[in-house]
Amino acid sequence: SLNYCRKQLRKQMLKQAIAECSPKIAPQLERPDSSGSPAYAPTPEFCRALVEWQRSHKIIADSCARDLVLDFVSLMSHAGAVVDIEVPTDGSITVVGDLHGQFDDLLKIWKKNGYPSDA
């Protein structure tokens, strides 16, 4: 169908754009106001530091954003659209839909329900 073709084309364009984002050019892309930005590391500590950084409406370093996106794309390319989860009897789960870029809304959800677990 036409919609399927459009979706495949968008996926291909995203892959090409990511592939062209070379780490060699990252220092040239840094914004002067991103100094002090948390250094990327796929850890819960980095995520919490990033939330605090963003809560102050500061801009993260382009290299940090690039590495974060590349890891996310790699992770999600292996994940299915539907996943099975187990919630302990005494546990709870909060499902968050598309926030349309409303980062402050996500912060409010985390404040009310707690940060995602490390698991």
pLDDT per residue of the chain (119 residues) written in tens, 0 to 9: 788 888 888 777 777 776 665 554 444 444 445 567 778 887 888 888 888 888 887 888 877 888 888 888 887 777 777 777 888 888 888 888 888 878 788 888 888 888 877 66
29 vs 117: CA distance, rounded Å: 33
| Cβ 37 vs Cβ 60: under 8 Å | yes
Cα separation values, 68 from 21, 56, 75, 105, Å: 12, 19, 11, 20
Q: Cβ of 63: how many Cβ atoms within 10 Å?
A: 19
Task: Indicate the pTM of the whole model.
Answer: 0.54
Q: How many CA atoms lie within 13 A of 117 on its CB side?
A: 9
